[in-house]
Structure 1
Amino acid sequence: MSDVSAIKKVCVIGAGVMGAGIAAQVANAGIPVLLLDIVRDPADRDAVAKGAVARMLKTDPAPFMSAAAAKLVETGNIEDHLGRIAECDWVVEAIIERIDLKQDLYAKIEAVRRPGTAISSNTSTIPLDHLIAGRSEEFARDFLITHFFNPPRYMRLIEIVTGPKSDPALVARVEAFVDRAMGKTIVRAKDTPGFIANRIGTFWIQSGLNAAFDLGVTVEEADAIAGKPMGVPKTGIFALVDLVGVDLMPNLQKSLTSTLAPDDPYQAIAKASPLIEKMIADGYTGRKGKGGFYRLNRDGGGKRKEAIDLATGAYREAITVQPPRADLATLVATNAYAWAVLGPTLAYAASLVPSAADDLVAIDEAMKLGYNWKWGPFELIDKIGAARLAALMTEKGVPVPPLIALAGDRSFYRVEGTKQQYLGLDGAYHDVAVPEGVIRFEDLKRGQQPLLKNGSAALWDIGDGVVALEFTGKMNALDGEVMKIIGKAIPLVQASYKALIVYNDGTNFSAGANLGLALFALNIAAWGEVEKLVAGGQQAYKALKYAPFPVVSAPFGMAIGGGCEILLNSDAIQAHAETYTGLVEVGVGLIPGWGGCGEMIERWMENPALPKGPMPAPSKVFEIVSTATVSKSAAQARDYGFLRPSDGITMNRDRLLADTKAKALSLVDGYQPPKPPEFRLPGESGRVGMKMAAESFHKRGLATDYDLVVSDALAGVLTGGPADLVDVVTEKDMLKLEREAFMLRVRDPRTLARIETMLETGKPLRN
C-alpha cells in the first residue's frame, strides 16, 4: 500500500469551477494547496484565484467542509508563482479543454518542477498520448490523467488514466491520496476519448434527446420513463441537461465526434438540434440561465413550472407524469421511448469492454458513481436478461455486442459462496476485487444469518468480536422495534463479543424517529404509547452508553433527530466526511427526547473554548438546537459539538466500515463505561435569558409564535427546570425533564400540524 503522507502539498492550475473545487477537496483533506490561474488584472495579479476562493465561500452546496479548510488554499498566478510548483508533490492541471494551451503549460511546468513530482490533467476528453506529445521521457513517466467529476467534493468517482510510460509507484501514490485523503473511488479507464462515464453518459443523453424529438414524447414523459424505472435520479434526462447546462451538450458533442473513430456508434447519433441551438442563443442554458427544458415562470408575482414543447419551442405549463410501473424487461420490450434510450446505450456500454475498460465492473462503477445511476449498465442487463436483451436487439436491428452474446443465458454477476463474481471476457467468472483495507458489509452479510432481526433492525457478526447494529426501516427511521433490538443486543454482545458498532449501507444513516408511526398514535390520542416510545428510547440509548463494552457509531449522510442522539450516546463516532447531523425536533414542534439535551450540554461543558459556569454551555446548546442547526459536514459537526475532538472522520465512504470496526477494537483493552454526568444549571434566570433571545428573533421575523412556545420548552430543559444554581441536576433528572417537555408539546395541535406537514411535503410548517 502506498503512503498517503507522501503528498504533503498540492498545486492546482486553473481556478475555474472544476479546478477550484479540486483545490477545495484537497484542503478538505487537511493538505495545503496552491491555486494558480492567469493574470487578468494588473492591479491584483492573483485576482482570478482569489475570486474563485471567495465564490466558493458563498457557494451552496459548499465546496469547503469547514472554514479551516478554506485557510489551507493559497492563491497566486501562473506568471509570478509557477516556480513554486517545486514545493509541491502533485500538480493538477485543470485549465480549459484546449490541447495547445495545455501543452504550452506543460512545457513551462517541466522547466520548474522537481523530478518525481506527479503531474496530472483533469481533462475529460483529450487522450493522454495527445497531451504529452513532445514532452520528455521523464515528464511522461510522471504524468497521468485524474478526471474528477463536478462538484469534486460530492461526486465520489475519479477516473484515472495512465500511459505506457507512467511510473507505477508514482501512480500508486496519487491513487492512495485521492482514495484515502480525498475520499474518491478510483476507476481505472483506458486512454480513449471520453474515458468511461462521460462517453457512455453522453451517448445515453444524446439517445434520450433524439428519441424524444423523433417519437413526439414530451420532456415530462421522457424523464418519467428514463428516470426511476431505470434507476436514474429523478432528473431523468431533460432535467439533468438543465442541471449541467444545455450549452454543455454541443461542446461535448464536438469534442467526442472530433476524437472518436468514424465508425463509433456515437458518430451516427450525434446531430445538431435547431431547438437547442436557439435555446442557447436566447439564454435558456438551464438552471444557470433563464431556464432550459424546464423553467419557472414568475410573471405576475407567481411561480409556475413550465416545460418546453419540443415541436414548437414554446413553453407551456408543466404536467405531472407518473413513472411506468412495468418491470424493466417489460418496459424496454413494450415502450418505444424506453427502448430507444436504453437498448442502444446498453449495447454501447457492452461494446466498450475491453477498449475503454478492462472489465464490466469498471463500466458499472463509473456510471453509478459518475452519473448517480442506481444500477450500472451490466446490472441493468441482468435485470432484463442478457438473452432476452440480445433477442430484442436482433429484432430491432441493433448489433449484439460480443460480450452480451458471450453471456447467453447467464447473468453478468453472480454470488459464489460469500463472494460476488462477474463474467470476464474469457467466459469465466471472477471475484469482484475489493480495494485493500475495504470491508463491504454486503459481503459480510452474504455468508451468514443475522444474530437478531426484526422489521426495523438487525444485528450482524462482522468478525474479530465485533457486532454491527443495522437499521433497516424506511429512511432508517427509528421506532420501538429498534429499541427492542438494542435491548437484546446488550447481553448478547456482553456474553460473546468485544464491541458494538452502529452501521448500515443506506443512503442516509437515519432520518430520526418514525414520524409516521408517531402521527398515527397522536391522531388516536394514544399518549401512553407515545410516552412509552420516548421512555423506551431513553432507556435503550443509555443502555448503549453504559454498556460494558465500547459502542461506536458510523454516521453518513443525514443523521438527524434520534439518529443524532444515538451518536451522542455512543462512546465514539467514526463519521463519514459527508455527515449532516443535528437535533432538528423543534422543526416539528418537539424537543429532543432521547437524551440529546444532556449529552450536548456535557459536550459543551468539556469544550475548553467555552467559559466555565452554569450558563455558557446551556446557552450554546440552546443556540444550536432551537434553530434546528444541521452540520453541513462531519468537520462542521465537530464545530457544533455533535462530534468530540477524539472522534474520527473517514473521507472515503467505502472505508467507513473498516475504520469504524478498527476504532471499536482500539477501545476494547481496559474499557470502562463512562460515569453518569452531573450538572449545575442556571435555572429560571437562565430560562428567562434564553426566552429573551428567542423573542429578539421573533421581533425580526425569524421565529414564529409557536417557535417561541417550543423554544421555551427547550430552554426549560436545558436550564434544569425547577432546579436552582445550588442544585445538582443528574442525568436522570435531565431525562425526566425531556420526557415531560416532549409530552407537553406533543399534545399541542400545532405540533400535530407540523408533523403532518413534514410528512406530506418534507418541509417544515411555519406556524
Structure 2
Amino acid sequence: MKHSIKKVAVLGSGVMGSRIACHFAGIGVQVLLLDMVAKGAEESTKPAERNKLVNDALATAIKSNPSPVFTKDVVKKITTGNFDDNLKDIATVDWIIEVVVERLDIKHHIYEKVEQFRKPGTLVTSNTSGIPIHLLSQGRSDDFKKHFCGSHFFNPPRYLKLLEVIPTPDTDPAVVDFLMHYGDLYLGKTTVLCKDTPAFIANRIGVFSIMSIFHIMDNLGLSIDDIDALTGPIIGRPKSATFRTADVVGIDTLVKVAKGVADNCPNDEARAIFAIPSWLESILTNNWLGDKTGQGFFKKNKSAAGKEILTLDLKSLEYQPRIKPKFATLEAAKPVENLQQRLKIAAAGTDKAGDFYRQFHYSLFSYISHRIPEISDELYRIDDAMMAGFGWEIGAFESWDVLGVAKTVEAMKANGVKVATWVDDMLASGATSFYKVENGKRLYYDVATKTYLAIPGGDAFLVLKNNSDKLVWKSSACKLYDIGNDVLGLEWSTKMNSIGGEVLEGVQKAIAMAEDKYKGLVIANDGPNFSAGANVGMIFMYAIEQEYDELDFAIRQFQNTMMRVRYSSVPVVTAPHGLTLGGGCEMNLHADKVCAAAETYIGLVELGVGLIPGGGGTKEFVLRASDELHEDEPDTNTLKKRFFDIATAKVATSAHEAFDMGILRKGHDELVMNSNRRIAEAKKSVIEIYDAGYVTPTQRTDIKVLGRLGLGAMLAGINGMWRGGYATEHDALIARKLAYVMCGGDLSEMTLVSEQYLLDLERETFLSLCGERKTLERIQSVLKSGKPIRN
C-alpha cells in the first residue's frame, strides 16, 4: 500500500504530544490532537469544557520559548478533541502517533480503542522511549501489527533533528522504508533505524556519556562548573554541556533512563556506570529536578543586584556563586577555530582537564565499540543519532578517528580499558579509520562485511568537505570545490563565518572561475551557521583610526561583490542555514536563488551596532518595495514595513517567516526542511537555471523612490518612537538616516533611480555613522561581550 500523509492524529497532548502536533502542522499537515476529557467536565456537554485539557496544553506549547511553530498561523491546521468524543475521527487520518503516559497498560487500553475506529492500512506509531516496542502491539490485529512501529522524537521536536524508527518483527519493511524517507524529506529529520533495545540508540549512548562523566568527575575531584566548561562547545557539544542539559531534560528523566538500562541490560559490560551516585539520589529526594521544579544542578537567584545563577556544591548540597574554571588545556584549545584540532589539544593536555578528556574519551570509545551489533549493525547510525539527538557537532566514532584509532586503542589498553574485538580485527586488516572519503562519497567501516560501504543518502546529502579531493582553489579563509556536474561550491571558515576582505575576494574568485568554465556556483557551508555578518572588528579598526578612505574602499568592495553575485554571467545559488545575519543576509538577497533550510534565522541587524545595511541590503529592500508599489497611487505602507524590519533589526525566526518578511521570495526561492539536503538542492537549482537558458540580468534603473512623500511619514513615526521612549536618541538618528536612504533622499516627488544611486546613498550614510561615537561604543560592546549596548 502506498502511503500519503495528509492528516495525522496525535494521541496525548503533553509536552511531547503538543509539540509533535505543532511540527506536523508546521509542514502543512492537518492534525487531530486528542487527550482525556478535562477533570470535572465528564458530565458537561460543552466541547470547550470537555476539551480544556488539550486546549490548555496546546496554548502552553504555542507560548513556549523556543517556539514549536514556524509561524503562528500553523495552529489553524490543528483540531483538538478528546478520547471519548473524537477518537472515532481517527478513521479519517493516515498516521496515528501515540504519545500517552509511559505505562504499558494505558497504552494497550488506548490501542484497543484505536483499533475500533482505525481504517486498515493506517500507520500507527508510538513515541515511547522506555517500553520495548514489540510489547506494545501484543494482542492487536495482524493489520495493526504490520503497520505499527516506534517513532521516537526528541524534545523539542522542531529543533532536535533526530527521529528514531524502531520496527518490531511484525512491522512491514515497506512501512519502515516509508517512515525513514518521510521523516527525512518532509519532517526534516535525521532518521535513524534502531533495534528494539533499551533506550534505543541516542539515549543509550547519551545517558551513558553523562553517567560516565559523573563518575570521572568524582574520581578527579572536579566541580559542576568545571565539567560544564570542559564538556560544552570546546569539544563540539551544545552550550548546555552536561549539567545544564540534565536540568533542561529533567534529572528524574535522566535517572529513569539510567536505571532502565541497568535493570534491563544485564549483559552490558559497563552496567556499573549506570549506578546512581549518592549525591544524585539526594538531589532526587529533595525534588530538585531541574527547570521543571525551578532548581536542580543550577538555581536562579534574584537579589538587589539582579539575577544570578548559582551552582550546586555536590558535597554540601548548597548553592553557591558560579566559579569560572581555569585549566591550561582549556586556555590552549579555546582560540583554535577548528574542532578537530581542539579535540587533539584537549586529549593531549597535561593538567587535570587533560586527564578528564582522556578518561572520558576512553570510556566513551569502549562503550560504543561494544554496542555494535547490539543496538546497531552500522556504526554511522550511532554517530547520526548523537549528532541529531544530543546536538554533538561530530559523532563519537568520528571523534575517535580524529584522535587516531590505533594510537587511542593502544593508550586505552595501557589504562585497562577494553575495546570490542571487531576494532582490533579492523586495525589488523590494515584499516585505520571508521570513516573515509572516496570520489566525494563518505564511506564507513562495516563490521559485518569488514569492508567500507557508502553511507546511504550520499547523493541527497551533499557535504562540501567530502569533495576535498576536488579542491580547485583555496585561501586561508575559503575553499572552492568542484562538486560535480560542472558546478562549483564555495565555503569559508572564519569566526562565526563572518565576511571580511579575504572572503569577499574568495567570492569574486569563485564567480570568475565559474564564469570561465562551469555552469554556476553554490555558496554554502557545513558549519553551524551560514554567516553572522560582516567583520565588524575590521570596521571598528578603520573607524577608530579614522581611516575613512580604507573604510570607503572596504564598503565598496562589499557592495561590488554583492552586485557580482547578482549580475554574474552564471547562476549563483546560496544555501543558508542557522544564523544568516547582516552581510550574510545581503549575500542571499542578491543570489539568483536561495535554497534555505527551514531553520534559517535571517535578517538585517546592522542597526544593533549603530549602522545601516551597507552591502546592498538597504538598496535591495527599497528595490523590492518598489516592485510592490502600485503605479497609480504609491502606498507608503510597503516601504514602511521594509523600513521597520531594518530599523528594529528584525530577524526571521525561520525560513517560513523569512518568506513572510519578503527576504525570501515566494514562488522563487526554496525552503528545504532537512538542512542536510539544502546544498544538494542548491546544486540542482544551479543546473536547472543554467539549462533553462540563463541570461545575466540587467542592472535596474527603474526603482521607484518616494522622496519627501515617504520621508515625512517615516520621520513622524521615528519621532513618535523616540518621544514614547521606545528608541534612544541615537536609535532615532540612525533611523532618520536610514529613512533618508530608503526614500531616495530629499526628492520633491516620486522618482525613478538606479541601483547604483541607492548604493552610493547607502555607502555614504554607512560611512557617516562610522564617525559617530555612540556607534563605535556599540561596535566595541559587541566585540567585547557579543552583545550591543543601548546608548
Equivalent residue, structure 1, for 2:132: 127
Residue 738 of structure 1 aligns to which amino acid in structure 2? E
Deviations 1:597-648 (A, max 9, x none): 2211232344489995152222111111100000000000011110111211
Confirm or deny: 8 A CA contact 2:297 2:312 kept in the other structure: yes
Equivalent residue, structure 2, for 1:369: 388
Q: Does 1:484 align with 2:502?
A: no
Q: 1:611 to 1:380 in 2, by over 3 A?
A: farther
Pairs within 5 Å for 1:672-691: 672-675=695-698, 676-691=700-715
Instruction: Point out the more displaced range, 595-604 or 527-536.
Output: 595-604
- Separation of aligned partners in 2, 1:605 and 1:125: 57
Aligned with 1:19 (options 17, 20, 25): 17
Aligned with 2:544 (options 515, 523, 527): 523
Pairs within 5 Å for 1:67-466: 67-228=72-233, 230-258=235-263, 260-265=264-269, 267-322=271-326, 324=329, 325=332, 327-331=345-349, 335-408=354-427, 410-416=432-438, 418-426=440-448, 428-435=450-457, 437-442=459-464, 445-450=467-472, 452-466=473-487
- Separation of aligned partners in 1, 2:234 and 2:427: 24
- Separation of aligned partners in 1, 2:272 and 2:367: 12
Paired residue total: 763
Q: Does 1:721 align with 2:745?
A: yes
Instruction: Point out the more displaced range, 391-400 or 664-673.
Output: 391-400
Equivalent residue, structure 1, for 2:609: 588
- Separation of aligned partners in 1, 2:219 and 2:516: 67
Root mean square deviation of aligned Cα:
2.5
Q: 1:193 to 1:671 in 2, by over 3 A?
A: same
Confirm or deny: 8 A CA contact 2:626 2:703 kept in the other structure: no
Deviations 1:140-174 (A, max 9, x none): 11011111111100111111111222112222222
- Separation of aligned partners in 2, 1:695 and 1:726: 23
Would you identify which runs of 4 or more consecutive aligned residues in structure 1 move more than 4 Å? Answer: 280-283, 331-336, 607-612
- Separation of aligned partners in 2, 1:91 and 1:351: 35
Deviations 1:447-500 (A, max 9, x none): 3122x4323334332222322232332222112223323334444333322222
- Separation of aligned partners in 2, 1:102 and 1:704: 57
Confirm or deny: 8 A CA contact 1:32 1:73 kept in the other structure: yes
Equivalent residue, structure 1, for 2:734: 710
Confirm or deny: 8 A CA contact 2:165 2:176 kept in the other structure: no
Pairwise CA distance, 1:253: 2.9
Residue 425 of structure 2 aligns to which amino acid in structure 1? L
Pairwise CA distance, 1:576: 0.6
- Separation of aligned partners in 2, 1:49 and 1:607: 42
Q: 1:220 to 1:186 in 2, by over 3 A?
A: same
Instruction: Point out the more displaced range, 77-86 or 471-480.
Output: 471-480
Q: Does 1:670 align with 2:670?
A: no
Pairwise CA distance, 1:726: 4.1
Equivalent residue, structure 2, for 1:757: 781
Confirm or deny: 8 A CA contact 2:27 2:186 kept in the other structure: yes
Instruction: Point out the more displaced range, 452-461 or 511-520.
Output: 452-461
Q: 1:159 to 1:70 in 2, by over 3 A?
A: same
Residue 69 of structure 2 aligns to which amino acid in structure 1? F
Confirm or deny: 8 A CA contact 1:26 1:33 kept in the other structure: yes
- Separation of aligned partners in 2, 1:726 and 1:327: 61
Confirm or deny: 8 A CA contact 1:224 1:322 kept in the other structure: no
Equivalent residue, structure 1, for 2:571: 550
- Separation of aligned partners in 2, 1:322 and 1:609: 62
Confirm or deny: 8 A CA contact 1:36 1:78 kept in the other structure: yes
Q: Does 1:696 align with 2:694?
A: no
Q: Report the secondary structure of 1:298's partner residue.
A: strand
TM-score by length of 2: 0.91
Q: Does 1:735 align with 2:759?
A: yes
Q: Does 1:654 align with 2:676?
A: yes
Unaligned regions of 5+ residues in structure 2, if any? 333-343
Q: 1:310 to 1:7 in 2, by over 3 A?
A: same
- Separation of aligned partners in 2, 1:392 and 1:598: 59
Q: 1:696 to 1:604 in 2, by over 3 A?
A: same
Equivalent residue, structure 1, for 2:341: none
Percent identical pairs in the alignment equals: 35
Q: Report the secondary structure of 1:6's partner residue.
A: coil
Pairwise CA distance, 1:185: 0.9
Q: 1:275 to 1:612 in 2, by over 3 A?
A: farther
Pairwise CA distance, 1:180: 0.8
Q: 1:167 to 1:343 in 2, by over 3 A?
A: same
- Separation of aligned partners in 1, 2:743 and 2:440: 53
Deviations 1:33-67 (A, max 9, x none): 11111111425222222222212221221110012
Q: 1:238 to 1:737 in 2, by over 3 A?
A: same
Residue 700 of structure 1 aligns to which amino acid in structure 2? G
Pairwise CA distance, 1:301: 4.2
Confirm or deny: 8 A CA contact 2:212 2:360 kept in the other structure: yes
Instruction: Point out the more displaced range, 484-493 or 185-194.
Output: 484-493
Deviations 1:101-129 (A, max 9, x none): 11111111122111111111111122111
Q: 1:484 to 1:597 in 2, by over 3 A?
A: same
Q: 1:471 to 1:329 in 2, by over 3 A?
A: closer
- Separation of aligned partners in 2, 1:83 and 1:129: 25
Equivalent residue, structure 2, for 1:500: 521
Q: 1:55 to 1:605 in 2, by over 3 A?
A: farther
Pairwise CA distance, 1:731: 1.6
Q: Report the secondary structure of 2:74's partner residue.
A: helix
Confirm or deny: 8 A CA contact 1:690 1:715 kept in the other structure: yes
- Separation of aligned partners in 2, 1:391 and 1:667: 53
Confirm or deny: 8 A CA contact 2:622 2:705 kept in the other structure: no
Residue 232 of structure 1 aligns to which amino acid in structure 2? R
Confirm or deny: 8 A CA contact 1:125 1:256 kept in the other structure: no
Residue 107 of structure 1 aligns to which amino acid in structure 2? E
- Separation of aligned partners in 2, 1:418 and 1:573: 24
Confirm or deny: 8 A CA contact 1:680 1:725 kept in the other structure: no
Confirm or deny: 8 A CA contact 1:476 1:510 kept in the other structure: yes
Q: 1:758 to 1:696 in 2, by over 3 A?
A: same
Q: Report the secondary structure of 2:525's partner residue.
A: coil
Aligned with 2:28 (options 8, 27, 30): 30
- Separation of aligned partners in 1, 2:634 and 2:289: 56
Confirm or deny: 8 A CA contact 2:198 2:265 kept in the other structure: no
Instruction: Point out the more displaced range, 22-31 or 272-281.
Output: 272-281
- Separation of aligned partners in 1, 2:179 and 2:629: 38
